[in-house]
Amino acid sequence: MKHILFFNDSLAMGGTEILLVDLLNHLATKAQITLLLPEPSEKNVLLHRVSPAISVKYLHRAPLSRFKKKLWENTMIFFPRLFAGQKSVSEAGYDEIVCFKESFFACIFARMNIPKILWIHNIVYKRKYETRSVREKLSVWLNRKQLKLTERSYNCFDKVICVSGAAQKAYLSVLHNGKKPKQDIRILHNAIDLAKVKEKAKEAVAGLPQSETGFILVTRISPEKRIDRLIRAIVRLKEEGYHFHVHILGDGTDNRMMREELARKGISELVTLKGNTDNPFPYILQSKWSLCVSERESFSLALLESMALKTPVITTDCGGPRDIVENGKYGILVENSAQGVYAGMKSVLDDPALSVKYSMHLDEAVSRFDHRKWLHSVEKLLVI
C-alpha cells in the first residue's frame, strides 16, 4: 500500500482545511496516510474530524514562543536540510509527498528525492514594501531573501496543482515571468460535497431577520479579505436609507476591535458578528445573498457552498471567483474595489428580482465542481 505524507500549515476552520480533511479520510481507505502539521494548537479545530486510520505528526512537539518560532522559521528557509534533520523529517518510508498549501514550509521538502506535489491555494503576488526605519529595512531585506528561497523551492516539486486559472496565471507570472517551466503545472478546481452541505444546512438557527434583505460574508481576519470594503459599503447604504442586515462569520471576525469600529461608524445594529462557527450552512441557507469582498482569492469555497444552497452570490473580480460565477453568468461579478462592493449590494436592494434571476441556474453552476469527480482526479494524480 502506498504511503503518502501530506503537509498543511494548520487544521483551523477554513474551506481548504475542510476539503483536505475530507480528502484524507477518503484516501485512508486506499493508501497509508500521514498528516504532518507545524505544532499542536487549539486552533486545529478540525483535527477531531480526521480518521483514526491517519497518523498525525508535528514538526514541533509543543507550541513555540514568538522568538523560537522565528528562529526555527529562518532555519527552515535558509538551512532546510538542517531543519529537517533536527525535526526528524525525511523521505524515508514515504512514496510521495503532498504539500497541500504553498508556504515557507515547502522548503522542507524541496530537496527530498521522491515524487512531490505542491498545491497552490492562493494568488501568488509581488509584495510592495514601505520602509522608514533601519529596523524596517532590515526586516524587508530578510523577508525578500525568505521569499526568494521559498519560491525557488517551489521549482523543485514535480507537480504543481493550481485551484483556478487565476492561481495558475499568477504562479507563472510571478515565479516564471509568464513562461511555462518543465514542471507539470495543471488546474484542478476545488470541489464541494453537495449532500453533506445540504444535510448540515438543515440545522435550526435562530436570529436571522427575515423581513429585511440579509447578506452573509463567510471569511476570516486576513488583509486580503478586505472586510473594510464591506463596512464602507454598509455605511454608505445606511446613509442612503436602505434597510438590510449583514452576518459576518469566520475565524477572528468577532473581536473587540471590530465591534468598536462598527459602533464608531454607527452600524452595529446592521451587522451580526458570529465569529468562528462550526456549521455556517444554516446561516447561508437563510440569507438572501452571499458576499465575497476580497482583494485576492484563488477560489472561494464559501461562494460555491452558497450556490449549492441556492443562495445567490455577489463577488469582487478578485481571481478564482470569476471561474466560479463564469464571468457573471452564475453570480454578480463586480469591480475589485469598495465601490464595486457597494454597487453590487445596492443593485440587489434596488431590484429584489435579481435574487430570482441569479438563483435559477445554480444547480447547473455547482455541478461543474462535483466532489466525487474531484476525489477521482486526486486519486489519478496520486496513482492509487
How confident is the prediction for the chain on average, in pLDDT?
A: 91
Whether the per-residue pLDDT at 371 is higher than 70: the answer is: yes
| pLDDT (mean) for 35-45 | 94
Q: Is the pLDDT of residue 135 over 80?
A: no
Mean pLDDT, residues 175-190 taken together: 87
Q: Is the pLDDT confidence value at 210 over 80?
A: no
pLDDT digits (tens, 9 = 90+) for 341-363: 999 999 999 999 999 999 999 99
**How many Å apart are CA 41 and CA 57, to the nearest integer?**
12
The C-alpha atoms of residue 115 and residue 382 are separated, in whole angstroms, by: 10
Q: Please compute the mean of the pLDDT values over residues 365-380 and round it to a whole number.
A: 94
Instruction: Decide if pLDDT at 329 tops 90.
Output: yes
362-378 average pLDDT score:
94
pLDDT for the residue numbered 228: 95
- Who has greater pLDDT, 59 or 213? 59
- Residue 37, pLDDT above cutoff 80: yes
> What local confidence, expressed as pLDDT, does residue 79 receive?
95
Q: Which residues contact 281 (CB under 8 A, 6 or more apart)?
A: 197, 200, 201, 203, 305, 309
Find the mean pLDDT for residues 143-159. Answer: 87
Query: How far is it between the farthest Cα atoms of the chain?
Result: 65
- Looking at the DSSP assignment, which residues form a beta bridge with residue 33? 4
Interval 126-138 mean pLDDT: 71
| Residues above pLDDT 70, as percent of the chain | 97
Cα–Cα nearest to 115, from 218, 227, 2: 2
User: pLDDT tens, 191-208?
Assistant: 988 888 999 999 887 766
Residue 131 has pLDDT above 70, yes or no: no
Q: What residues have CB less than 8 Å from 41, skipping those under 6 apart?
A: 10, 63
* Residues in Cβ contact with 129 at an 8 Å cutoff, skipping those fewer than 6 apart: 140, 143, 144
Full 3-state SS string of 125-157: CCCCCCCCCHHHHHHHHHHHHHHHHHHHHHCCC
CA distance 259 to 271: 9
145 grid coordinates: 531573501
Is the predicted pLDDT of residue 142 greater than 90, yes or no? Answer: no
Q: What is the pLDDT of residue 252?
A: 83
Model confidence at 232: pLDDT above 70: yes
Burial zone of 132 (CB within 10 Å; 0-12 exposed, 13-18 middle, 19+ buried): exposed
Q: Which pLDDT does position 150 carry in this prediction?
A: 85
What 3-state DSSP class applies to 340?
helix
Measured CA distances, 163 to 96, 193, 300, 375 (Å): 20, 16, 10, 14
Q: What is the pLDDT of residues 60-84, one digit of tens each?
A: 999 999 899 999 999 999 999 999 9
List the one residue out of 196, 228, 154 whose CA is nearest residue 301: 196
Q: Can you give the pLDDT at residue 129?
A: 62
Share of the chain above pLDDT 90, in %: 74
Q: What pLDDT sits at residue 365?
A: 94
Structural domains of the chain, with CATH: 3-191+370-382 (3.40.50.2000), 194-367 (3.40.50.2000)
**Is a pLDDT exceeding 80 seen at residue 366?**
yes
What confidence category does residue 44 fall into, taking pLDDT thresholds of 50, 70 and 90?
Answer: very high
Output the pTM of the full model: 0.85
Q: What is the pLDDT of residue 345?
A: 98
SS3 call for 71:
helix
